[in-house]
Amino acid sequence: MTASRFYATTPIYYVNAEPHLGHAYTTIIGDALTRWHRLLGDEVLFLTGTDEYGLNIQRAADAAGLDPQAFADSIAPKFAEAWKHLEIANDDFIRTTEPRHRAAVEELLQRCYAAGDIELDLYRGKYCVRCELYYSDDDLLPGDRCPIHKLPVEEFEEENYFFRLSRFQDRLLDWYAAHPGAIVPEFRGNEALGVIRSGLRDFSVSRTSLTWGIPLPWDPSHVTYVWFDALTNYLAAIGFGTDAQRFEHWWPVDYHLIGKDIIRQHCVYWPAMLMSAGIEPPRGWAVGGWLLSGGEKMSKTTGNVVKPLDLVDTVGVDGFRYYVLADTPYGQDGDFTYEGLVGRYNADLANNLGNLMARVATVVGSKCGGTGPAPSGDSPLSRAAADAVTGASAAWDVVAPSRALDATWQLVRATNAHLEANEPWKLEPGPQVEAVLGDALEALRIVAVLASPALPDTTQAIWERIGLSGAVTSQRVPADVAWGGYPGGLPVTKGPALFPRITV
């Protein structure tokens, strides 16, 4: 757990749809993970962005009666705005139509071409325009429908350049064998290995049937296939093809956060492309499940989209972030329901954390004149606090946010139980009351730091209400979450409810 540099990415989102809960899901997890690494003192780069080329976007632009660039220009800011609203602290936002991206794509293509891994060939196949993927008959649903979108695929025949993925099967298997745990959670890693073991077919990296893309540097009658192009954003943002020194500093990436729908492209195509170009594969991939709505993946095509900003109106930004992070074990599918969202908000935030803050502030007001006492050295809560720190750290190490928050909420619950067992509100002012309240304040301080990646606004509010100055995010784990850091003698203020209870 020594401090180092930490580079993490989200997928770049297609600009054919406005941001929805499914996009917010992956982005919030990346944000919380990188906030945790900032607490560890790491030098962090958190990247997100938009995927703007390809047939999918060209068609959406046509339907909107706009040229594709104007269309992309109208949607990309909606992602940036949604992330701002959700307190996403991304360090960069890359758009594939930027010159820095084009430079990186050209460089990567040239390297793979020079290595002899890109060659011209004729291709005939069944193509899903939404996925921008060819499917074999085995993969398709009855009636030649795409397994992801359930829409009919289209017959395409083209002369394409191909990436010789079939040459990389052994190299990929050897690499994964030498890097166990590179994909978390493990069962998602097994899915990727399954794809590799089942045999790899070459994939086309160019199209002549459309113009909305980056021309191949050696044959501009072809434009680059959108997935080859899109994956390269992870290199482009750190200077590949434009700033070698910066690239050296940040590559290899620590985690690509992705959804299970794009394992093949990220865990199979991408490391092979990098190997071909003489670039190290990523250090890690964190693969999330889908957030389902009515049992189906939320998507524009399915028409069951929930807009994140509508939910924020009900439970607040932090309430929404908490739900996304805590409710579903990362990697598995989760079913979004409004009742589930409100239920978790009321239980964990309103009743547990919010109530703890309110109670402590009230009793400090009535028994200690509003001045928070220092914690005791040998508090029974110190053990619970140490366990929360260890549990949260171990969970974040393997990108398990629900476990990290669970470990933290054990401390919240232990602190509420400690107050109930001692009932300081019934005692006369004096050392006993002060010890109980000082311990609770110290527990709140530690909870604020540990929960800050999930709840950036409300943990800062807690920090200030218990009289501490500066930013909760300036604290460092583990040094600043050792028991005994709350100095005492600080003004404690109650303020309005942090998480007002919601009645359904």
Catalytic residues: 20, 23, 128, 131, 146, 149, 297, 300
User: Which span (171-179, 196-204, 253-261, 486-494) binds ligand MSP, by CB under 6 A?
Assistant: 253-261
Task: Report DSSP state, residue 95.
Answer: E
Residue 141's φ and ψ, nearest 5 degrees, are -80, 165
**Is residue 228 a contact residue for ligand MSP (CB under 6 A)?**
no
Residue with tokens 């086309």: 204
**Is residue 60 a contact residue for ligand MSP (CB under 6 A)?**
no
Shortest Cβ distance from residue 50 to ligand MSP (Å)?
8
Cα–Cα dist 130/132, whole Å:
6
Which of 76, 262, 399, 411 touches ligand MSP by CB under 6 A? 262
Shortest Cβ distance from residue 223 to ligand MSP (Å)?
16
Percentages helix, strand, coil for the chain, rounded to the nearest 5? 50, 15, 35
For residue 478, how many other CB atoms are within 10 A of its CB?
15
Shortest Cβ distance from residue 92 to ligand MSP (Å)?
14
**Is residue 447 a contact residue for ligand MSP (CB under 6 A)?**
no
Shortest Cβ distance from residue 475 to ligand MSP (Å)?
31
Which of 12, 32, 183, 441 touches ligand MSP by CB under 6 A? 12
Kindly tell me which of 210 and 386 has the beta carbon lying closer to ligand MSP: 210
Mapped onto helix, strand or coil, the DSSP state of residue 154 is: strand
Shortest Cβ distance from residue 251 to ligand MSP (Å)?
15
Shortest Cβ distance from residue 42 to ligand MSP (Å)?
23
Kindly tell me which of 171 and 260 has the beta carbon lying closer to ligand MSP: 260
Kindly tell me which of 82 and 437 has the beta carbon lying closer to ligand MSP: 82
Contact track, ligand MSP, 121-160, x by CB under 6 A: ----------------------------------------
Q: What is the DSSP string of 340-399?
A: HHHHHIIIIIIIIIIHHHHHHHHHHHHHHTTEEPPPPTT-HHHHHHHHHHHHHHHHHHTT
Which of 230, 253, 277, 447 touches ligand MSP by CB under 6 A? 230
Cα–Cα dist 454/326, whole Å:
9
Output the CA–CA distances (angstroms, integers) from residue 496 to 357, 358, 361, 362, 363, in the order listed: 10, 9, 11, 12, 15
Q: What is the DSSP string of 272-336?
A: HHHHHTT-PPPS-EEEE-PEEETTEE--TTTT----HHHHHHHHHHHHHHHHHHHSS-TTS-EE-
Kindly tell me which of 47 and 363 has the beta carbon lying closer to ligand MSP: 47
# chain residues binding ligand MSP, by CB under 6 A: 21
Angle at 405 between CA 401 and CA 406, to 5 degrees: 115
Which of 261, 318, 348, 434 touches ligand MSP by CB under 6 A? 261
User: Which span (147-155, 185-193, 297-305, 421-429) binds ligand MSP, by CB under 6 A?
Assistant: 297-305
**Is residue 259 a contact residue for ligand MSP (CB under 6 A)?**
yes
Cα–Cα dist 312/319, whole Å:
8
Please, which of residues 184-223 interact with ligand MSP by CB under 6 A? none
User: Which span (7-15, 114-122, 176-184, 460-468) binds ligand MSP, by CB under 6 A?
Assistant: 7-15
User: Which span (5-13, 105-113, 373-381, 461-469) binds ligand MSP, by CB under 6 A?
Assistant: 5-13
β partners of residue 152: 145
Whether the Cβ atoms of residue 242 and residue 255 lie closer than 8 Å to each other:
no
**Is residue 291 a contact residue for ligand MSP (CB under 6 A)?**
yes
Amino acid letter, 335: D
For the record, the structure tokens of 352 come out as 């547990």
Which of 45, 86, 133, 258 touches ligand MSP by CB under 6 A? 258
Cα–Cα dist 218/207, whole Å:
14
Output the CA–CA distances (angstroms, integers) from residue 441 to 309, 367, 386, 406, 473, in the order listed: 33, 14, 15, 20, 18
Cα–Cα dist 467/444, whole Å:
12
Which of 126, 207, 297, 367 touches ligand MSP by CB under 6 A? 297
**Is residue 231 a contact residue for ligand MSP (CB under 6 A)?**
yes
Contact track, ligand MSP, 16-55, x by CB under 6 A: ------xx-xx------------------------x----
Cα–Cα dist 300/16, whole Å:
9
Amino acid letter, 125: G
Q: Which residues of 322-356 are buried (b: 16+ CB within 10 A; e: fewer)?
A: bbbbbbbebbeebebeeeebbebbbebbbebbbbb
User: Which span (8-16, 179-187, 246-254, 400-408) binds ligand MSP, by CB under 6 A?
Assistant: 8-16
Shortest Cβ distance from residue 235 to ligand MSP (Å)?
11
**Is residue 102 a contact residue for ligand MSP (CB under 6 A)?**
no
Could you list the residues that contact ligand MSP (CB under 6 A)? 11-14, 22-23, 25-26, 51, 230-231, 233, 258-259, 261-262, 290-291, 297-299
